[in-house]
Structure 1
Amino acid sequence: MTELRIGIIGAGGIAQSRHIPTLLKLNEQVIIEAVYDVNQAAAAAAAGRFNIPKIMNSHQELFAEVDAVVICTPNKFHSEIAIAALQAGVHVLCEKPMALTSQESEAMIQASKSSGKVLSIGFHYRFMKESIAAKKAVEAGDIGNPLVVRVKALRRRKVPGWGVFTNKDLQGGGSLIDYGCHLLDLSLWLIGNPAPTEVTGTTYNALSKVPGQVNQWGTFNHDTFNVDDHVTGYIKFENGTSLLLETSWSNNIKEDVIEEVSISGDMGGLEVFPFSLNYAKHGMLFNSEAAWLPGEEDPSLPQAQNFIDACLGRAEQIVKPEEALQVTQIIEAIYESSESGQAVSIQSEKERVN
């Protein structure tokens, strides 16, 4: 079977906990050829732990050794490195979010089109069994036309106290751009990625600014904390659908985690986690839960497999960069709306061209 030579750029937690172990499970199809990190000690540690043969001195040097890269750097560097890789003729799987801004995201898309190389973004929630079941149900018309989408991505006192998650300059934001983006992307994909037209949002970081807060995921400096830990948003789409979003690292909720995507259509509705269809028939109301769902328990595996297949021309990529751009547009608009106190309009591609 054809082997794809892959390089890892950024040897931190997400590379070592998700991407590298997953690719090693697919070792008949890929080989991890090299790793690069600005922290050479981190690169060396990852290479030693996973028997990666080469440690490179720059990402440009790495491009000459591989067919594809997985970018696991802080968000600030996603666009720069992805564009350089694509221009060097290398396929790219970039961790979410796509980039800090719509402009950066659009430049990545243009580089992909010009090079003819695959650009995919690591929105792995699309590859969950429940998500795939929900996509099938929506496409089959089981809920009719989607009208209202409700999204919750909430954690109870779980600000990531490691890495650069609370560094606005490097990450661009907090709970929304890091965590809420996953379920936002999933919900957009499920309803067919209609074009967003107007966004209203509010961001908070009051809780994390209070000294001595309980936090389950390590410690952080409340004095320098300058990213969002709680966000609400309301999005309108050109087809009339609306979406209500709430995401938080630090919610005061009873549950440890709440992850919900609920879609109400004109013929029925569905819940994604756990998957259920809700509809009326024969004068009765039904809630239909699946007794069994096919697919992998770990969505990282089908995500990596789809990227490999897309690079080798065997499959269409499931996460298209134009769809990931929509997520960036909405996140950007939520932050802008919160700062201005006003709703933000999003122009369609046709409007921007004209």
Structure 2
Amino acid sequence: MNKLRIGIIGVGGIAQGRHIPAFLQLADICEITAVSDVNRERAREIAEKYNIPNAYEDYRQLFSEVDAVCICTPNKFHAEITIAAFDAGVHVLCEKPMALNADECEAMIAASQKAGKVLAIAYHYRFMKEAQAAKKAMSEVGTPLVARVQALRRRKVPGWGVFINKELQGGGSLIDFGCHLLDLALWLMGNPTETAVSGTAYNALSKKPNQVNQWGTYDHETFNVDDHVTAYLKFDNGASLLFETSWAANIKDDLANVSISGVDGGLNVFPFELYTTKNGMLLNSEASWLPGEEDPGVPQAKNFIDACLGLDELIVKPEEALQVSRIIDRIYESGGNSI
């Protein structure tokens, strides 16, 4: 079997920390043949570090040398590069969120369908062992009623990269961090259609001077993205979702979790626990062992490769990633936002 030739577009932290190592672990079915970055020297350094044959400044130059690309750029460029890749006949794995807004997501899906190529979005939380276990256990939860999503960090505004650049990223804690847990909850629930979305976004804390922040420094005077967001969602099947995300909450500890209560039972994802009734008793179950990879980037990369080769279906379908972006749009647009 010929190996799938992979190109990496954007060689910053997420490329080096997750995608490049994951693809390298799958060297029996793929090979990274080229990288590109607007910083040409950085592209060359990464190519040399990982023994990748080619490095470019312009991402268009690598299309002729690859079968698929992994897009690791700021959010602003996701749609542009994805559509260009499909025009070149190349499969795409794009970092989350899918794009700046739902309109761009729809354009990406249309380009994918026109080209007949795979479009995957890197919502890697779905590939975590606990998430995979929760998906299998949803049959014991029965019809979902209420989901609770918390993606909270204590005083950890990213003070590096472009995370707080609204023009390049489109937002802050919601579009960067909260989107992961929102996507996971929707997937576990079966992606019901949202019928009502109400939310509030804040950034009052991060605009105060003399910040105590664990993840670097930033200019509080120019901070203009959300650092804390709350929302309430209703769905066409009668279910509801309570949502909260923050980079900078004044809370005791960080928390990233999804819990779901259904008609027959309930579950918690991190850590994975199942809540049921049997023989007149209330039972709490926890797994003593969970199958799967410790690094979710590896099964994510393998699922993408297998989908490109026609061997498997995508676990993260682009239409589902579109729903996440559509909900994010509606939260940001919701009345009462303080930004």
Q: Same fold (TM over 0.5)?
A: yes
Residue 302 (structure 1) aligns with: 299
Residue correspondence of structure 1 range 73-152 to structure 2 within 5 A? 73-138=73-138, 141-152=139-150
The Cα of 1:197 is off from its aligned counterpart by 1.1
**TM-superposition CA deviations, 1:96-120 (whole Å, max 9, x none):** 0000111100000011111110000
Q: What is the rounded CA distance, in whole Å, between the counterparts of 1:238 and 1:87 in structure 2?
A: 36
Residue 248 (structure 2) aligns with: 250
CA spacing shift, 1:168–1:68, aligned 2, 3 Å: same
Counterpart amino acid of 1:65? E
Matching of residue 323 in structure 1 with residue 320 in structure 2: yes
The Cα of 1:284 is off from its aligned counterpart by 1.3
CA spacing shift, 1:33–1:338, aligned 2, 3 Å: farther
The Cα of 1:340 is off from its aligned counterpart by 6.5
SS at structure 1 position matched to 2:110: helix
Q: What is the rounded CA distance, in whole Å, between the counterparts of 1:338 and 1:324 in structure 2?
A: 24
**TM-superposition CA deviations, 1:27-63 (whole Å, max 9, x none):** 1111111111111122122112212110123121111
Q: What is the rounded CA distance, in whole Å, between the counterparts of 2:299 and 2:250 in structure 1?
A: 34
1:175 to 141, 149, 173: 173
Whether the 8 Å contact between 1:11 and 1:42 is mirrored in structure 2 is yes
The Cα of 1:238 is off from its aligned counterpart by 0.7
Q: What is the rounded CA distance, in whole Å, between the counterparts of 1:339 and 1:40 in structure 2?
A: 43
The Cα RMSD (Å) is 1.1
Residue correspondence of structure 1 range 258-269 to structure 2 within 5 A? 258-269=255-266
Which of structure 1's runs of 4+ aligned residues deviate more than 2 A?
338-341
SS at structure 2 position matched to 1:305: helix
SS at structure 2 position matched to 1:64: helix
Q: What is the rounded CA distance, in whole Å, between the counterparts of 1:338 and 1:65 in structure 2?
A: 48
2:161 to 160, 163, 179: 163
Residue 205 (structure 1) aligns with: 203
**TM-superposition CA deviations, 1:121-157 (whole Å, max 9, x none):** 000000001100110111xx20110000000001111
Matching of residue 195 in structure 1 with residue 190 in structure 2: no
Whether the 8 Å contact between 2:201 and 2:337 is mirrored in structure 1 is no
Number of corresponding residues: 338
Whether the 8 Å contact between 2:207 and 2:221 is mirrored in structure 1 is yes
Matching of residue 334 in structure 1 with residue 300 in structure 2: no
Matching of residue 277 in structure 1 with residue 274 in structure 2: yes
Q: What is the rounded CA distance, in whole Å, between the counterparts of 1:176 and 1:38 in structure 2?
A: 26
Residue correspondence of structure 1 range 6-25 to structure 2 within 5 A? 6-25=6-25
Whether the 8 Å contact between 2:200 and 2:334 is mirrored in structure 1 is yes
SS at structure 1 position matched to 2:7: strand
Q: Percent identity?
A: 68
Q: What is the rounded CA distance, in whole Å, between the counterparts of 1:152 and 1:111 in structure 2?
A: 34
The Cα of 1:339 is off from its aligned counterpart by 5.6
SS at structure 2 position matched to 1:142: helix
SS at structure 2 position matched to 1:285: strand
SS at structure 1 position matched to 2:213: coil
Q: What is the rounded CA distance, in whole Å, between the counterparts of 2:17 and 2:288 in structure 1?
A: 31
Q: What is the rounded CA distance, in whole Å, between the counterparts of 1:290 and 1:79 in structure 2?
A: 40
CA spacing shift, 1:202–1:340, aligned 2, 3 Å: closer
Whether the 8 Å contact between 1:71 and 1:95 is mirrored in structure 2 is yes
SS at structure 2 position matched to 1:117: coil
The Cα of 1:2 is off from its aligned counterpart by 2.3
Whether the 8 Å contact between 1:91 and 1:311 is mirrored in structure 2 is yes
What TM-score comes out, normalization by structure 1 length?
0.94
Whether the 8 Å contact between 1:35 and 1:54 is mirrored in structure 2 is yes
The Cα of 1:338 is off from its aligned counterpart by 4.4
Residue 229 (structure 2) aligns with: 231
